[in-house]
Chain A
């Protein structure tokens, strides 16, 4: 480390009170920002859990649909027409619905039911117990072993339950990529059983899932579906649509954004003011350095180093604290929805750098304005 930066470092860390105040300010701001964004990311990721778990490449839906749980049933003709489009390898219906399950203990539990195409079982989950062909057995259901699994009283293969006055039987235990947002367990069964067991409207198909012959065929398929008055979205497009719904149409995104901005302002005020005070207290010393022959650029580099060091340290502590908090929360609440993404980390870093830039700017201005003559004048 160059000697001048070593001096800057010592001036900073040896002023323990100010250094601690600076660190606390930035750490607190980063902690709040990361927590807010991570919770929001977690919610968004879970909101698209069904899309990820089923894994179809193209989803056909009514254009008014903005998430999996509020699907508008499609007429059977949509399925037939989808199958007739050039470039479609195959198209299958899928059912998404909710039901109340009466458990052996007598208590009721809301569940999410996914009905898979009887012929292909397209979108089926990976099993950790049981055989997939057992899904065709009488009253058969697969249960997903996720954070919500215990709400069904930790069922085993062979356990029975009641669903809308029908008998249900667990024939397999599955695992999926992501857990849903609403905190209810998920059951898989066949499409025909799902629409039989769960009250439905005239049309029963929630979505038509399409497997294209080739990725290049997707735009043509989307165009043809669009001509029918429906919408065909790729998996990523659908996930983005769901995210946009939660971000912009539920108030959730705005609230999180407001909290993030408030955290940023808190960090900016604490850090900016504390660092400015730190520089003010050392202003005469900077003036003395200038009188001794330090150039303006050297004093600026000292301040930038101090601010950058503090900011990055506060950033690391803030991210660490947020991660620990999330781990602790997940330890106590297994279905706690929060995830730290690279985007969140990059955004928080960007915010910290803005805080650092602001703190540096007001401090550098002050230091560059100091005249060595003022040091002589006293």
Chain B
């Protein structure tokens, strides 16, 4: 029996009104488990990012439920949702969204600062994570001085620093060359995945599929199939 991190059922989301109404996600149901790296794959416009936003508590669905540890995410108030994202989720955005006016270590410390951790302690903890991603010597540089791969590592360290249960990566290899992309995903799997954590990666990069424990295919807003490489018990 696997511990289920997220259980989504009947998720539907559309954008626009009247004739411009477009269905982004249609009746999507799936589960993400602790201890596995789940890939959401599909062509551009297939609804991957929309589904990811819905299960992360960022975008409200028009229909369906998202259960996290038995609680329906979308019954929460906006502040409860913010707390949920802060305490349970870690995000690695496609464009990293690092603050160029802050140092690398300050960028990593942001989730802790949001959790009201004392500044010095937050920086000290962030330094530890910076060491994990191998960039301790660049702690006081602004992110713009780092390479794309290094910025990705900083973004991963920032997502990890608050020790989330669910780690979400949106197109983590989109702006990296093949080798660096593989290194990054391998690094994520080896350093962050454990039996108490679930990692969800949105990608259309076939070169990193080998690291997946489960792959969920999407097309035209629908889940067309899920394959798990880990045997079900």
Contacts and interface: CB of A to CB of B under 8 A. Distances in A.
A293 B93 contact: no
A66 to B, nearest CB: 58
Interface stretch (A8-16, A77-85, A312-320): A8-16
Contacts of A3: 109, 112-113, 116-119, 122
B81 to A, nearest CB: 9
B111 A10 contact: no
B114 A4 contact: yes
Nearest to A372: B58
Given A11-B102, A14-B101, A293-B85, A378 B94 contact: yes
A284 interface: yes
A375 B97 contact: yes
Interface residues of B, number: 37
A285 B98 CA distance: 7
Interface in B63-87: 78-79, 82-87
Given A288-B97, A292-B86, A375-B97, A4 B111 contact: no
B36 interface: no
Interface string B88-115: 0101011101010110001001111110
Contacts of B113: 3-4, 6-7
B59 interface: yes
A287 B93 CA distance: 11
Interface residues of A, number: 29
B165 interface: no
Interface string B142-176: 00000000000000000000000000001000000
Interface in A278-309: 284-285, 287-296, 298
Contact of A376 (B106, B118, B170): B170
A377 interface: yes
A108 B114 CA distance: 76
A373 interface: yes
B82 A294 contact: yes
A4 B115 CA distance: 10
A284 B97 contact: yes
B83 A373 contact: no
A373 B58 contact: yes
A7 B110 contact: yes
Contacts, number: 86
Contact of A292 (B85, B101, B122): B85
Contacts of A372: 53, 58
A288 B89 CA distance: 13
Contacts of B86: 292-294
Contacts of A11: 99, 101-102
Contacts of A378: 94-95
Contact of B114 (A14, A292, A371, A375): A292
A376 B99 contact: no
B82 A376 contact: no
B37 to A, nearest CB: 19
Given A284-B97, A293-B114, A375-B93, A7 B49 contact: no
A84 B53 CA distance: 91
A376 B58 contact: yes
Nearest to B89: A293
Interface string B51-62: 011001011000
Give me the 8 closest cross-chain CB pairs, A-B, nearest first: A293-B86, A3-B113, A288-B97, A14-B101, A293-B85, A373-B59, A372-B58, A3-B119
Interface of A: 2-4, 6-7, 10-11, 14-15, 284-285, 287-296, 298, 371-373, 375-378
Given A6-B119, A15-B101, A293-B83, 20 more contacts: A2-B116, A7-B110, A284-B97, A289-B110, A291-B56, A292-B85, A292-B91, A292-B110, A293-B86, A293-B87, A293-B111, A293-B114, A296-B78, A373-B58, A373-B59, A375-B97, A376-B49, A376-B58, A376-B94, A378-B95
13 contacts: A3-B109, A3-B116, A3-B118, A3-B119, A3-B122, A7-B102, A14-B101, A285-B99, A292-B114, A294-B114, A295-B82, A377-B49, A378-B94
